[in-house]
Amino acid sequence: MSQDDAQVSGEERQLALAVALTGLAGFVDAVAFVRFGGLFVSFMSGNSTRMAALPSQDRLADAAAAAGVIGLFVMGAFAGRLLVQSAGLWCRPALLSVVAALLAVAAVVVSPEAEGAAVSIGVAALALAMGLQNSVLHHAGDAKATPTYVTGTLVNLGHALADTMLGSASPWGAYLLMWLGLVGGAALGALGASRYGAAALVAPAATAALLALMLGALVRRGQPGRPA
């Protein structure tokens, strides 16, 4: 395989990983939205708006819950960054292994009858997992990868379409695929949550574990293992 072919193959893998991660984030967020009454665990723009708007409706507890999720998400991103710096080539498999474990914890702890502390633990595990996930991949070829930031993906899609119309090469197709992956994952997550509740989180947990194994195999074969 030539160097150019290897580069294309690597970019295709990055894009496939980016689409998988956005799909996973959409799935998890939809499960949380259905199971926890409109609370987001992946997309912090929605939680920031809830935190700011709900006090005007005397819903201080809900506003505090949104603020707590934001804090946990930031902690996950913080921990993910540290793990990237410390785990070397194995950081991606390590990150996704932790994500898989946290999703599995949420799936087990939040039973259909769960309330109070069990729900809090589940939400905390999900928010931490989604914060961590953002450190797995930063670029897919020339496209920016934002696994839990759909607004950024859509802005980048609009900019890339404009660049294409103006005659410049742009990765608009990659942004479209990432957005479609997120929407598809959210649709599946909502369907799974309506039928199985938080137990539907077994699917993204297994997906994250499989991705960790696949990326670990690439590291063993000498492929790049650090986030692009």
Q: What is the pLDDT of residues 13-60, one digit of tens each?
A: 889 999 999 999 999 999 999 988 788 898 898 889 989 999 999 999
pLDDT at site 224: 59
pLDDT at site 115: 74
pLDDT at site 175: 92
pLDDT at site 94: 92
Q: 73 with 130: CB under 8 angstroms? A: yes
Q: 89 with 180: CB under 8 angstroms? A: no
- Single pTM value for the model: 0.89
Number of other CB atoms surrounding residue 55 within 10 Å: 12
Q: Which residue's entry shows tokens 């932790």?
A: 98
Q: 227 with 92: CB under 8 angstroms? A: yes
Distance CA 69, CA 217 (A): 33
Number of other CB atoms surrounding residue 35 within 10 Å: 25
pLDDT at site 1: 46
pLDDT at site 144: 83
Look at residue 144 and give its three-state secondary structure: strand
Q: Which is nearest to 87 in space by CA: 216, 217, 218, 221? A: 216
Q: 225 with 218: CB under 8 angstroms? A: yes
Helix (H) or strand (E) holding 140: strand 139-140
Distance CA 137, CA 168 (A): 25
Domain ranges of the chain: 3-220
Q: What is the mean pLDDT of each run of 10 residues along the chain (228 residues)?
A: 52 90 95 86 89 93 91 94 87 94 92 74 94 86 80 91 92 93 95 92 96 91 64
Answer positive or negative: Cα dihedral of 104, 108, 113, 116: negative
pLDDT at site 180: 95
Distance CA 19, CA 66 (A): 27
